Structure 1
Amino acid sequence: MAGVLTTFPVTAADIQKAAHASQKLDNATCQTCHDGIKGKLEVPGADGEARPLHDIDPDKYGKSVHAKMECVACHTDITDNISPHQKSSAKAPDCAQCHQVLWDKAKQAGTTGSQPRLEIVAKNIAAYKKSFHARPNQDDPSQVNATCTQCHDTHGFNVPADKKSPQYAAWRKEVPALCGEKCHDEQLETYSESVHGKEVLDKNNAKAPVCTSCHTNHEITNTSLDSFKLLNNEACGSCHKENLKSYRDTYHGQVTKLGYVDTAKCYNCHGSHGILSAKDPKSKVHPNNRLKTCQECHDGKKKQLATAGFATFAPHANSHDFAKYPQVWISTKFMIALLIGVFAFFWLHSGLWYYREWQERKEHKNVPHVRTEGMLLNEKKFFQRFPVGWRIAHLAFALITMTLVLTGTAALFSHSAWAPVVAQALGGARGLALIHRVAAALFVGIFFIHFIYVMQRLLRDRRFRWFGPESLVPNWKDLSDMVGMFKWFVGKGEKPRFDRWTYFEKFDYWAVFWGVSIIGGSGLLLAFPTVTAAYLPGWIFNVATIVHGEEAFLAAVFLFTVHFFNNHFRPDKLPPPDIVMFTGTQSLEEFRREHPAQYQRLVDAGELDKYLVDAPSRPMTLGSKLLGLILIAIGLTLLVLVIVGFLGGAG
């Protein structure tokens, strides 16, 4: 208003009339010039050129949130109603400062509860001050990128509070033009041709995304920031809930949910302002363009160049649409059946075993199962059950397996509160992946060393029987022992007399072979995607992801429940831990109780003395117990994390 220049058709008579008018500074007086009816008003701009002043529509102002305010409440520098106005030294209008003062006064008066919209404005001001719009403009550092008045018509401001009202929908549809026509014209042009733009501009669909849906209202940040990229996925998911859920099941989604931008997000595949239907030949995700889109990230520089199979990978595959994703449906149902079958059998097995042993302990039953009368045995001697090589391999497997569980489930359950913490502690998504792959390589390496060592020894031993009592190969006695155990569980028979290896120990041993084959095989497919995709279709990644994750979940839960129970938490093992795998030895009493058939066989053959050794030293015993307790504590902690992650995903 200061320094107003009138241009025709405002006449000298009008000015003279205004000069002799009353000095009242009410809204009606202001409107005699600023209603846009009498003519255009201009003031000198910063560059010396005349710039037009906004006309104030009386109807719009009367419906605005500022309708009850006097013009001079904001334009405090205006002291008269004569044109050109004489300006005082008061500051020019400042929307943010005015609303902040009002909010501060409301807080001092304790009336904030009755002014919820004022609180929203205060929060918006705080957000704006941190936003990209509030930064100095590159071309003119004396100005910010955008001010309140560039986005809001302060005289006609009336954003409906009810976001479900038709009035709000009508206001929302004006947002693209507001952002695009004033500043972002290129983006508006691209948006207008997109599926989102056509929904809003052509089909009048107020629910379709507009600028603020992705960029927010006042918190607008630089799109190159990690924070924006991560939140952008969530913005897409607010509409595309099923697609966001299926995306999070992929490695891309898991890394993103952990809080890192190393992998593809929605806009990497679909674009941003120019998103098109997948059926559109110009779309980035059209079948003819998918490989090229994948190669934008997997470009052969930072990542290996994407190969043919990438184009048929399904980032939004789900397990309930057999017609569209049959491989995913089948693999998911198979893994669910496997998990239910294994857990149902072994948890029942453990529960019944605990019940039977606890009952016998209460009844003080103690059936020796072996003949010891007349034998001259030194009960202070211990039976050597495991050689040093087996013990070292077991310890290495235990530590590596726990590392694999921690790093693998952090990705698998990336939605959990604990997963990002673990990822950050281990060097981010890349550190997590590196540790996981190194641990996997060590696991497979130790497995093959063990396998080659055992095989070459067995093949040179002509007395070894593949289905004999010393062999880990399952035989008919194992089936008989298993049936006998269930009879004993329910009080229908005696406890079976186990030989060197029990059927559940054999299951543990061969489970490693299964794990290396299934978890290791699927992991290799995922670890070298360009090689995999060069020879196999993209749906292999979907299946491998499901199998790798579900089988790893099965192994972790089995180890820290069933395996821990069998070896540490049975009533006759309490208090834990059982240290036979650390010392390699166990007392004769314990050996007779747990492996009576082997004990009797060695006694009958006169070979028992060959396996008797001195009891482990006290430091060895204490050290083994401490190590065992530490490993059990780590295992149970990992079990809690896995359960929290699983329940969080199920919910």
Structure 2
Amino acid sequence: MKRAESRQPRSALWLCGLLLAAAAVFGAVPAAAANKLDNAGCLSCHDGKKGKIEVPGKDGEKRALAHVDTRKFGMSIHSEMRCVACHQEITDSRAQHRKNPQAQAPNCITCHEQLWADARRDKLTQEKERLGLVVQNIADYRKSFHARPDADDPTRAKAFCEDCHGSHEFRVPPQGSERRTAWHKEIPETCGAKCHEDQLESYLESVHGEELVDKGNVKAAVCTDCHSAHRVVNTSTDNFKLANVNTCGDCHKKQLNSYTDTYHGQVNRLGYTYTARCVDCHRSHDVKAVEDPNSTVHPKNRMKTCMKCHSDKKPGMHDATPGFASFAPHATTDDFEKYPQMFIASKFMVALLIFVFAFFWAHSGLWYYREWKDRQAGKAPPHIDTKGLVLDTGKHFRRFPLGWRIAHLVFALVTMTLVLTGTSALYAESAWAPVVAKAVGGPKMLGLIHRVAAFLFIGIFMIHFVYVMQKLLRDRTFRWFGPDSLIPNWKDFADCWGMFKWFFGKGPRPLFDRWAYYEKFDYWAVFWGVNIIGWSGLMLAFPHVTAQFLPGWVFNVGTLVHGEEAFLAAVFLFTVHFFNNHFRPDKLPPPDVVMFTGTQSLEEFRHDHPAHYQRLVDSGEITQYLVDPPSRQFHGGSVALGLALIAVGLVLLLLVGVGFFTT
């Protein structure tokens, strides 16, 4: 009994061993059979010469397998691979293959990712850098529109690698080769034949299609140039709309540059898509040449195209008026024959900028140099004869009344607001402009703030002008070209000439009267700026009214002049004006607070305007202008306010400089 019990376990062990051996043998059969399968054997059936091969498809219906072109396969990048390297589920060469249920179906993604992982493990990334690009393309594909589930069959993606590349014949020919040209020309057919038939039909009739197909111009845009090959995204997204403008610009660089100078382009560069882009005017797949009568931008069709956006039916918009049709969205300043108005306006503005900056920057630099040299030499300022008049040196001279000071402060704040909001659009391509636009709520709010500030600017100017004129007209003793007038006179020209002689040590420093020539320039520059910036801005703010009476080229010139004059004003204010009033050696440390307190010490007044001082002393009128100095608190607050405004101005100057030199 005991011997029988001892034999039973041994029999069980032998039986288990036998079963395991059999399992190993039979399990190895598919692998061994697969190893014997070569490409020649596979192609003997799948080359299409023996008729089509059908396999069970979806819902029990049969589907035909695509045949493999042996010639194209032999030239493909996969030609040296065995068929079963991808089709690992195939275990035999029978007509109806026995398949290994545990094997993965062919998958381009997992295969290439594994190859790249092996290359990184073996430190062969440089030798196989092409694999790295493929893996990057895979990452882009996973985020793309094509990787989303298909609406008709959610079990598969909208498009997979095989749909575009064809794994049995895929090969990207070398750049510049004839095969590359042929491959490039096939891209529209690849995209259109299977999925995008309507778009292909439109493309073939477009100027791009005609260039590619009819003229053989491989530089003409194809599907992947606009949509990319692997980063295909939904065309309704803002990311695509923004990137699409740059895509057009890759080929049409000059047109992109001119587009970004327009309001449409500025909003686009700020990162918003509600203004017209390339496709809104030219369309997308059926782009026509401008001279083509069927083109949306042909002269006879432009108004219709403009009214897609400029229509009373759109919130905040108005119907396009006749001048819209002659607006040139791609006008440049270097083509006199096509755009004579832009050519002339640009040359005038460039000359104006060069003259103003060259003169006044040289003026400031030489002034600083001469004062520094005089201080080194210990020269004292000119002596003023008081003719025995006893003055209380503790008193201050009242130079500006309260109304002027308030107007100056509001004017300064409004001007800085205009500079910030205006240059954010002017330099929309800079790194800082989109940040400003987003901070205030977008370009629409940016434009609203700019317009409100502009109306305040003009309003303050008009109030000042009316006040001054009515006061002067009632003053029967006022001399329009006298020493108290802001109108330039011959003494101003003599003072300017004398100042330059002083700069070079060829004469004494001129004795300025109530208003120095550079102060008069500051004053009248506002009149010039209000008219140039104001009228051009008004025309641009109400385009439907402007275009009702004026041709479209006024928008081109208006945009140019408005931006260039604003640039001139901003840079002049924050360099020359700041120097003359705050950064001269005799004004350091800044700020000069006379425009905030309204008064200055007698010593300072006598130094800045000695002729005025002497005139008042001679007439005995100076005592009428003597007041108590501002309180310590008022003076301290004025200094703090002045420093804050100077800091804001210098920051704005920095932003303008960054925008000017980087865009």
2:483–2:513 Cα contact (<8 Å) kept:
yes
Aligned-partner Cα distance in 2 for 1:272–1:564: 51
Shift in Å, 1:234:
1.1
Of 402, 407, 411, which residue of structure 1 is paired with 2:416?
A: 402
1:23–1:80 Cα contact (<8 Å) kept:
no
Stretch moving more, 231-240 or 449-458? 449-458
TM-score, L = length of structure 1: 0.94
Aligned-partner Cα distance in 1 for 2:472–2:116: 83
Of 562, 582, 588, which residue of structure 1 is paired with 2:576?
A: 562
Of 536, 545, 565, which residue of structure 2 is paired with 1:551?
A: 565
Aligned: 1:366 with 2:380: yes
Shift in Å, 1:449:
1.4
Tell me which amino acid in the other structure corresponds to 1:58: T
Aligned-partner Cα distance in 2 for 1:626–1:635: 14
Shift in Å, 1:373:
6.3
Of 345, 352, 357, which residue of structure 2 is paired with 1:331?
A: 345
Aligned: 1:123 with 2:136: yes
TM-score, L = length of structure 2: 0.93
2:146–2:159 Cα contact (<8 Å) kept:
yes
Q: Secondary structure at the match of 2:251?
A: coil
Aligned: 1:344 with 2:358: yes
Tell me which amino acid in the other structure corresponds to 1:529: P
Aligned-partner Cα distance in 2 for 1:369–1:537: 61
Q: Percent identity?
A: 64
* Residues 588-603 of structure 1 mapped to structure 2, 5 A cutoff: 588-603=602-617
Q: Secondary structure at the match of 2:44?
A: helix
Distance 1:606 1:23, change over 3 A: closer
1:213–1:235 Cα contact (<8 Å) kept:
yes
Of 39, 42, 56, which residue of structure 2 is paired with 1:27?
A: 39
- The equivalent of 2:210 in structure 1 is 198
1:309–1:536 Cα contact (<8 Å) kept:
yes
Shift in Å, 1:105:
2.6
Aligned-partner Cα distance in 2 for 1:59–1:119: 28
- The equivalent of 2:593 in structure 1 is 579
Tell me which amino acid in the other structure corresponds to 2:458: V
- The equivalent of 1:441 in structure 2 is 455
Shift in Å, 1:553:
0.7
Aligned-partner Cα distance in 1 for 2:176–2:311: 45
* Residues 497-518 of structure 1 deviation map (CA, whole Å, 9 limit, x = unaligned): 1111111111111111111100
Of 209, 212, 217, which residue of structure 1 is paired with 2:224?
A: 212
Shift in Å, 1:312:
0.3
- The equivalent of 1:175 in structure 2 is 187
- The equivalent of 1:389 in structure 2 is 403
Aligned: 1:279 with 2:291: yes
- The equivalent of 1:431 in structure 2 is 445
Distance 1:647 1:23, change over 3 A: closer
Aligned: 1:152 with 2:170: no
Shift in Å, 1:188:
0.6
Aligned: 1:73 with 2:85: yes
2:502–2:508 Cα contact (<8 Å) kept:
yes
**Structure 2: tracts of 5 or more residues without a match:** 1-32
Q: Secondary structure at the match of 1:383?
A: strand
Aligned: 1:268 with 2:280: yes
Stretch moving more, 183-192 or 466-475? 466-475
Aligned-partner Cα distance in 1 for 2:122–2:402: 77
Q: Secondary structure at the match of 1:113?
A: coil
Shift in Å, 1:411:
1.2
- The equivalent of 1:15 in structure 2 is none
Of 478, 484, 488, which residue of structure 2 is paired with 1:464?
A: 478
- The equivalent of 1:306 in structure 2 is 320
* Residues 453-473 of structure 1 deviation map (CA, whole Å, 9 limit, x = unaligned): 222222222222222222211
2:324–2:552 Cα contact (<8 Å) kept:
yes
* Residues 85-104 of structure 1 deviation map (CA, whole Å, 9 limit, x = unaligned): 12222221111122122222
Shift in Å, 1:586:
0.7
Aligned-partner Cα distance in 2 for 1:530–1:23: 77
Shift in Å, 1:580:
0.8
Shift in Å, 1:184:
0.6
Q: Secondary structure at the match of 2:121?
A: helix
Aligned-partner Cα distance in 2 for 1:381–1:452: 32
* Residues 155-196 of structure 1 deviation map (CA, whole Å, 9 limit, x = unaligned): 111012x33332222111000111111011011111111111
Stretch moving more, 611-620 or 107-116? 107-116
1:369–1:497 Cα contact (<8 Å) kept:
no
Q: Secondary structure at the match of 2:167?
A: coil
- The equivalent of 2:4 in structure 1 is none
Of 254, 276, 294, which residue of structure 1 is paired with 2:306?
A: 294
* Residues 250-269 of structure 1 mapped to structure 2, 5 A cutoff: 250-269=262-281
Q: Secondary structure at the match of 2:58?
A: coil
1:369–1:593 Cα contact (<8 Å) kept:
no
Stretch moving more, 605-614 or 552-561? 605-614
Shift in Å, 1:23:
7.5
Shift in Å, 1:214:
0.5
Distance 1:34 1:453, change over 3 A: same
Aligned-partner Cα distance in 2 for 1:164–1:362: 69
1:24–1:81 Cα contact (<8 Å) kept:
no
* Residues 229-248 of structure 1 mapped to structure 2, 5 A cutoff: 229-248=241-260
* Residues 240-291 of structure 1 deviation map (CA, whole Å, 9 limit, x = unaligned): 1111111111111111112111211111111111111111111001100001
Tell me which amino acid in the other structure corresponds to 2:616: L
- The equivalent of 1:376 in structure 2 is 390
Q: Secondary structure at the match of 2:138?
A: helix
- The equivalent of 1:222 in structure 2 is 234
2:393–2:602 Cα contact (<8 Å) kept:
yes
- The equivalent of 2:529 in structure 1 is 515
Of 402, 409, 426, which residue of structure 2 is paired with 1:412?
A: 426
Look at both structures and tell me which one has the larger radius of gyration over its CA atoms.
Answer: 2
- The equivalent of 1:98 in structure 2 is 111
Aligned-partner Cα distance in 2 for 1:453–1:539: 37
Of 631, 644, 650, which residue of structure 2 is paired with 1:630?
A: 644
Tell me which amino acid in the other structure corresponds to 2:131: L
Aligned pairs, number: 628
- The equivalent of 1:421 in structure 2 is 435
Aligned-partner Cα distance in 1 for 2:276–2:189: 30
Shift in Å, 1:342:
1.0
Q: Secondary structure at the match of 2:126?
A: helix
Q: Secondary structure at the match of 1:500?
A: coil
Distance 1:121 1:465, change over 3 A: same
Shift in Å, 1:22:
9.4
Aligned-partner Cα distance in 2 for 1:72–1:533: 70
Aligned-partner Cα distance in 1 for 2:35–2:134: 34
Aligned-partner Cα distance in 1 for 2:171–2:614: 92
1:381–1:614 Cα contact (<8 Å) kept:
yes
Aligned-partner Cα distance in 1 for 2:340–2:42: 72
2:386–2:614 Cα contact (<8 Å) kept:
no
Shift in Å, 1:334:
0.7
Tell me which amino acid in the other structure corresponds to 1:100: E
Stretch moving more, 215-224 or 243-252? 243-252
2:361–2:576 Cα contact (<8 Å) kept:
yes
1:346–1:562 Cα contact (<8 Å) kept:
yes
Q: Secondary structure at the match of 1:586?
A: strand
1:568–1:577 Cα contact (<8 Å) kept:
yes
Shift in Å, 1:44:
1.4
Aligned-partner Cα distance in 2 for 1:598–1:404: 35
* Residues 16-95 of structure 1 mapped to structure 2, 5 A cutoff: 24-89=36-101, 90-95=103-108
Aligned: 1:164 with 2:176: yes
